[in-house]
Amino acid sequence: MVGTSRRHILSTLIPHLRQHFALQTPPSNAFSTSTIQRKSPFESNLVRMLTSEIEFDSEYAPPHQTEKKFNAFMVEDRPGGQFVTLRGRSTIDENIKIEATMFDGVSPNMDEDDNEPNAQLHISLLVDIFKGEGGDMLEFVCSAWPQRLEIQKLYVIRPGGTLSRPYIGPDFRVLDKKLQSAMYKYLNARGVNNDLCLFLHRYVWNKDKIEHIQRLKLLKSYVEK
């Protein structure tokens, strides 16, 4: 992918530069001869690279205004955050809370047409379903692929955050197929399904693009000072 290596290098620099900048920046009314020194060739080249990267990411498949609602769910998204939260209610008045990560994994996927591997990005989901306050809660640990939901674990959590029946046996995927099917139908009836996975992938892709451009602008601002 164009710009991938530059993007990785620049992203790893930002946390260190941000900390250094916070410690080293003088008060706004202070005057130092260092502020009028000319940029080194390295700094000038880095600014040009950052400008080019920002322009490329802003013009090629640019981020867009995202929907904050999907079916029965409202999206809560904090700029700069690593998670996206969705909240909704089922038709039988259950509370549903979903916490989705940014892209946290990748898996090769063979294309049926040309048998070439295509990368599939992965999102982890934590799905909590409960009725009112103080009752037991069902918690599903899931994988969200571009168009497919996959349940990994299922827990029953008692009030106070403790598991009512700790289970350390085989994971969900090796349980009885009928039980697996019933659990998928249970989530689907509450809107946690393949359509939601597709929405989340589009939303997280857009959020990742926005966050990346903001990080580049922060880095450029620091280098230019």
Burial bucket for residue 178 (CB in 10 Å: 0-12, 13-18, 19+): exposed
pTM: 0.71
Assess contact for 108 and 120: CB atoms under 8 A. yes
pLDDT at 1 over 50: no
- Report pLDDT for 11: 55
Tracing tokens 């295509």 back to the chain, one arrives at 118
Assess contact for 105 and 121: CB atoms under 8 A. yes
Confidence of residue 2 (pLDDT cuts 50, 70, 90): very low
- Report pLDDT for 96: 96
Q: Which residue has the higher pLDDT, 207 or 35?
A: 207
| The CATH fold of domain 69-205 | Mitochondrial Matrix Protein; Chain A (3.10.280)
Relative to beta strand 137-145, strand 117-130 is antiparallel
- Report pLDDT for 149: 96
Cite the beta strand spans of the chain per DSSP E. 69-70, 73-77, 83-89, 95-101, 105-110, 117-130, 137-145, 148-158, 162-163
- Report pLDDT for 49: 80
Domain parsing of the chain, residue ranges: 4-64+207-224, 69-205
How confident is the prediction for the chain on average, in pLDDT?
Answer: 78
Over range 6-33, report the average pLDDT.
Answer: 48
Q: b/e map of 122-147 (b: 16 or more CB within 10 Å)?
A: bbbbbbbbbeeeeeebbbbebbbbbe
Q: What is the pLDDT of residues 43-54, one digit of tens each?
A: 777 877 877 777
- Report pLDDT for 25: 44
Cα–Cα distance measured from residue 193 to residue 212, given in angstroms and rounded to the nearest whole number: 28
